[in-house]
Structure 1
Amino acid sequence: MKELDKNLFIIALALVLIVLADAKIGDADEGYLIGKTTAEIVRLRGFKAQDHYVTTDDGYILNVVRCTNPKVNRGNYGSWRKSVVLFVHGFLSNAKMFIAYSEGVQPKTFWKLDAKQLSEWYLDQMLIDEPSKNSLPFLLMNFGHEVWLLNRRGSPGSLGRVDGLNGTMEESMWNENNDTLSEVLKAIAPGVNELTTATEIIAKFAKQTISGYESTAKMKNADYWNYSMDEQAQYDLPNVIDYILRVTGRRKVNLVGHSMGAAIILMALADQPDLASKVGQAVLWAPALNLGHSLDGAVKLKPLILFTNYMGPFRHFPTSNDAAAAICSKKENGKDNSICKYLLDALYGKGDEHRRTISELMVIVANQASGHEAAQLGQNLIYGGVQHHFDFGSKLKNIKVYGKSKPPAYDLSKIKLRKLSLFAGKTDGMVSPEDAQFTRESLSFPVDFQLIPHSDNGTFNHQSFIDHDKAGELCNIPTLMRLESTI
């Protein structure tokens, strides 16, 4: 396969999956979550939720949702015996990813228990039929913790700026290509079970989507998207932490991050070491930095560098629900069909045997992101798998911003927070175990490192932290026990 075709192919994997977010879903419980805000989903489960808005030092307005258990202090705040926990989501998603798998969840009174005094085996048995173990925010609330869910900039609810400008698309600009893309999807649907045609199908889709990317990217206030991971580490996370501490009256907040969210936590702690004084501990699921140490990961990252000079959103295209549904809502023996399995395994890593179906998650949480965020992931390859600040692709611009022709690296050895837990998936195809190990070794102190699953066989990929059918016992309960240890 030619290099250009390979790049188009890999980019298409991401685009196809995000397009599939428009699919109709069949799950009776998750179906009515479509269109609901983060706070509305929390309330649907019987918990209390309040929308708060934090204005960052560079003028972005972020939505963060305060979540409490009504059986604890009447839901006014969490137990003072337990901690306040902030969740930071990953790339191309939003805060709903942490609470989407919550069917059957109800407020419980586990808050009187001290999990750190119990064994992991005991908790597994106690919670074996407990729905909240599948969604860490609800599990934490049932144990008395107060939870805050951040929708990062670019997410629904976090598209505002202090001057009133935002990143809203000119929908008419997208409608021009809508019919063409729908026809492509309809052409794909008949071959849904033909694994051998996947490459041809994706290449065809890629050529349509990539050729239209720039022409459909015209929008109001395009400069809204002129940010990378750096601004979120410099402004967003510290500003949100300060806001939460001010509202709750606490001295520290605990952090849970997945993928890019976990990376932003480490980047903030590295560039602002004193931020550690406001953090009890951080649990990081597959932190997406220092990438490209596996061949599979490097191949996926390389095309993202193309977005370095693109000021706009890296997002899904509006498409026909019926066409998208034909691709991924069609099941084979209750599982994702062969094309969906192929795409998911290729992008996230092997994990089909334990994966919930795509229609239960992607339609709820898929989201746009800044093109510079995507580019910064790819730029890891330029610097040998070491996370750097955003490279503007111009020596003059880099000199203007950084005082040198190349951006500085993030020095993780400067991190002062000693209570760090790093979880990695054994078959993660995006943040490989090698990437996670490199991050671990970049720290100046020993870190709690968990490679899951613990067995020699079995799979756990990038999305398994969210959609694995045993995520409760493999990462949620272990994370709960670590967060209880700071009490």
Structure 2
Amino acid sequence: MLTEQGVPTMWLILTTTCCLICGTLSAGRFFNLEKEANPEVWMNISEIITYNGYPSEEYEVITQDGYILSVNRIPHGRKDARSPGPRPVVYMQHALFADNASWLENFANGSLGFLLADAGYDVWMGNSRGNTWSRRHTTLSVTEEKFWAFSFDEMAKYDLPCVIDFIVKKTGQEKLYFIGHSLGTTIGFVAFSTMPELAQRIKMNFALGPVVSFKYPTGIVTSFFLLPKSVIKGIFGTKGIFLKTGREPSLKLCNNKILWVICSELMSLWAGYNKKNMNTSRMDVYMSHAPTGSSMQNILHIKQLYRSDEFRAYDWGSEAENMRHYNQDLVWSSKRSVKFRVCFWIPEWWKLAKVLYLL
């Protein structure tokens, strides 16, 4: 439908909405509409840990293919520093466009990383290659396209084995617990099913919102993968994607007493909506530490698997290139040698049934 001036009504609505948002933001400082930001908005991961009263250690781990990964550790809880004997080790792998802060963004009594530390675990968290804290390489520059030539393939093949090997050597414990969230579970499933020696080091694999198939996508955000490859690359380029965090927009929107609902809706679109499980007072913390970036190849890999019957490695575009990279078929082995537990939000019971069937 068009107005008398021939301007699409949709664009008028969008323009009006933008003007209202800008006007509200501008008026915020005059009408006391801005809330004070949570201090964690400005902190890195180690600072968040120490701010909450926990011991923090940070390490750099270099993968076989030269990526320098940042790994965080909470060796014990706030009250059990002198407890005798080794603590059971747990390693946590974050989701797409996230980092280790995702395990620590609520208050200490509601953040899994802190809860595990207080429960007596030696907590380790790894940042995937390409995110804010693992965006370095021994020989490549982030400006080179070759730096970004990776997907969760490489995260499973190089990152996870390297970090787990480092943890085993550092702690002296041969086995550990693995907790993955979303794409973090994918990395775990691929690594453990293709590397039996790595799987033997895992006591239990806890999969939170597991992704072992993109055949049954849900949510508006997943419609993005319906766009042609050329369009996606034309919009976002061929290297990294979402490389800057949402700190500035989060401060403008999430701390505005009127516009904070926009942050809430964005979070719901991306991660699902559950009012009881969302602490709106921490919205600026959530948004300021995301998105943390990944590679375009990672996104295109997910696109290749979108609504596909197969769960396979990244397709380099030709049989010759695939053989050069893998020397085998693209489909991963489905052999499962690690005990695992799946955790889902209750309203997604139907999705759980499909995932368990695939597993």
Whether the TM-score (by the shorter chain) exceeds 0.5 is yes
Cα distance change on mapping 1:341 and 1:270 into 2, 3 Å = same
Q: What is the 5 A alignment of 1:47-446?
A: 47-69=54-76, 71-74=79-82, 80=85, 82-102=87-107, 105=108, 132=109, 134-163=110-139, 165-167=140-142, 220-294=143-217, 296=219, 299-303=223-227, 305=229, 307=232, 311-315=238-242, 321=248, 325-332=251-258, 336-337=260-261, 339-352=262-275, 354-357=277-280, 358-381=283-306, 383-384=308-309, 386-403=310-327, 408-412=330-334, 414-418=335-339, 420-427=340-347, 435-443=351-359
Aligned residue for 1:301, secondary structure, equals: helix
Deviations 1:186-230, CA, capped at 9 Å, x for gaps? xxxxxxxxxxxxxxxxxxxxxxxxxxxxxxxxxx22321110000
Cα distance change on mapping 1:342 and 1:304 into 2, 3 Å = farther
Aligned residue for 1:374, secondary structure, equals: helix
Deviations 1:328-377, CA, capped at 9 Å, x for gaps? 44345xx942x444444333333245422332311134311111111222
Cα shift at 1:249: 0.5
Cα shift at 1:236: 0.7
Aligned residue for 1:367, secondary structure, equals: coil
Q: What is the aligned partner in structure 1 of residue 44 from structure 2? A: 37
Cα distance change on mapping 1:46 and 1:294 into 2, 3 Å = closer
RMSD: 3.1
Alpha carbons 1:79, 1:145 under 8 Å: kept: no
Structure 1, unpaired ranges of 5+: 1-22, 106-131, 168-219, 444-487
The CA distance in 2 between the partners of 1:336 and 1:266, in whole Å, is 37
Cα shift at 1:435: 5.0
Cα distance change on mapping 1:353 and 1:40 into 2, 3 Å = closer
Alpha carbons 1:281, 1:417 under 8 Å: kept: yes
The CA distance in 2 between the partners of 1:435 and 1:159, in whole Å, is 34
Cα distance change on mapping 1:340 and 1:64 into 2, 3 Å = closer
Structure 2, unpaired ranges of 5+: 1-24
Cα shift at 1:73: 3.9
**Which stretch of structure 1 is more off in the superposition, 237-246 or 220-229?**
220-229
Output the TM-score relative to the length of structure 2: 0.78
Q: In structure 2, what residue type is equivalent to 1:330?
A: N
Cα shift at 1:139: 0.8
Aligned residue for 1:254, secondary structure, equals: strand
Cα distance change on mapping 1:81 and 1:403 into 2, 3 Å = closer
User: How many residue pairs end up in the alignment?
Assistant: 322
Alpha carbons 1:92, 1:366 under 8 Å: kept: yes
Cα shift at 1:267: 0.9
Cα shift at 1:26: 6.5
Cα shift at 1:85: 0.8
Alpha carbons 1:84, 1:254 under 8 Å: kept: yes
**Greater relative CO, 1 or 2 (CA 8 Å, sep 6+):** 1
Aligned residue for 1:156, secondary structure, equals: coil
Q: What is the aligned partner in structure 2 of residue 113 from structure 1? A: none
**Which stretch of structure 1 is more off in the superposition, 300-309 or 265-274?**
300-309
Cα shift at 1:411: 3.0
Q: In structure 2, what residue type is equivalent to 1:90?
A: A
Output the TM-score relative to the length of structure 1: 0.59
The CA distance in 2 between the partners of 1:228 and 1:71, in whole Å, is 40
The CA distance in 2 between the partners of 1:371 and 1:68, in whole Å, is 34
Aligned residue for 1:361, secondary structure, equals: helix
Q: In structure 1, what residue type is equivalent to 2:238?
A: M
The CA distance in 1 between the partners of 2:84 and 2:233, in whole Å, is 45
Aligned residue for 1:33, secondary structure, equals: helix
The CA distance in 1 between the partners of 2:344 and 2:228, in whole Å, is 23
Cα distance change on mapping 1:436 and 1:154 into 2, 3 Å = farther
Aligned residue for 1:347, secondary structure, equals: helix
Cα shift at 1:235: 0.8
Aligned-residue identity in percent: 23
The CA distance in 1 between the partners of 2:297 and 2:62, in whole Å, is 21
Cα distance change on mapping 1:292 and 1:278 into 2, 3 Å = same
